[in-house]
Structure 1
Amino acid sequence: MKNMLTPGYIGNFIIHLFMFILLISVYTYIQKLEKSGCMVECDVKYPYVKFIKQFSIFALGFILFVMLVPPGTILADIFGPKITTVYTFVIVMFYLVFGLYLWMTMTYTRLLITEKCKCSEDIRRELIFAGATIEMILLVLVILTVIIIPIILSTITIFFENIGDVSSKIESNLKNPVKGIKEVPKNAVGVFKGAKSIARKSLKGVKKLSKK
Structure 2
Amino acid sequence: CSFHHRNRGGASLINDRWAVTAAHVVDHDAFEPLWYGASWTVEAKILGIQASARTNFDNDIALIRFTSRVTLGPNISPICLQENNRGLQENELGTVAGFGVTEKNVVSRKLKHAPIVVYSEQKCQATPDVKMQYTQNMFCAGADGKDSCEKDGGGPYFVPYLDAGLRPFRLMGIVSWGAPCDQREHKGYYTKVENYVQWIRDTIEATEKA
TM-score by structure 1 length?
0.22
Bigger proportion of residues as strand: 2
TM-score by structure 2 length?
0.22
User: Highest CA radius of gyration, 1 or 2?
Assistant: 1
